[in-house]
Amino acid sequence: MRHTLPIAPQFYVTAPQSCPYLSGRRERKLFTALQGEQAEKLNNALSKQGFRRSQNVLYRPSCTECAACLSARIRVADFKPRRSQKRVAKRNGSLVRSARSAWATEEQYALFRRYLDVRHAEGGMADMDVFEFAAMIEETPVKTRVVEYRDQDRGDALTAVCLTDILDDGLSLVYSFFDPDMARNSLGTYVIMDHVALAREAGLPFVYLGYWVPGSDKMGYKAQFQGLEVYLGGEWQRLGDPSDYSNQAHPLSIDPIAQQVAQINLPDLRGAD
């Protein structure tokens, strides 16, 4: 009889670097590899504990002096669009959604480059070439789709793209980009609302949005979605008054890294004997 020993994921920490969300702060990430036959099970389990996927890596902020980044998700059953969000939906009424396999195209990359050059010219992805873009889209060990939005009023022009993971309890928006010339259309907000509709159609209870960062103008819009939850203190809780979360930027709110790892609830990754 052959016995297979379970292989527990190994966790690592990145070196500190400048925080892209809060001025004067340093960010650090806790991460583990996402690979093998049990990748999907691990992605499902850690996504529910505040982790995010980037290609074949799962990561979560683990900064030494700040815990401001809070993983956020929308409870689909509780989402009701605000008046301003209804106007966004109306402005984008000519967009048509299509979901395709995780395969990069030149058309997507052209839109991606325009988006970065206008919106994130100084960001960490600013120098990404077409091969790195293809890796971002295609290197996925889990169930992933590329959701494209085309504008019927502009000859089916590719207008927005979202790389989306399908979890066992929801949709996870890994990365999205859109036409920077259509800022008035609030395409980022529209893509999120459409994913709520898509999750509802699929019977999935949550839409994972990545991180909400109190005090960051870049991330403030996420707090405008009804039904929002944040992962805090090892559990998901309804978002209250956003100003109540400012103390998460205090250094005394940080657990030691060894304690953070010990508190991670890992799934049973043993294969069948």
CB 33 within 8 A of CB 167: no
The helix/strand count (H/E) of the chain reads as 6, 14
In the chain, the number of structural domains is 1
Residue 255: band (very low, low, confident or very high) from pLDDT cuts 50, 70, 90: confident
Residue 22: band (very low, low, confident or very high) from pLDDT cuts 50, 70, 90: confident
Res. 150: pLDDT tops 60: yes
Is 44 contained in some domain?
yes
Buried (b) or exposed (e) across 89-103, using 16+ Cβ within 10 A? beebeebeeeeeebe
Token pair 């953070």: residue: 260
> Could you give the maximum distance between any two Cα atoms of the chain, in Å?
65
Residues spanned by the domain of 66: 11-70+249-262
Predicted TM-score (pTM) of the model is 0.91
Is 107 contained in some domain?
no
Is 45 contained in some domain?
yes
Is 212 contained in some domain?
no
Is 51 contained in some domain?
yes
Q: Which residues contact 4 (CB under 8 A, 6 or more apart)?
A: 270, 271, 273
Is 267 contained in some domain?
no
Is 215 contained in some domain?
no
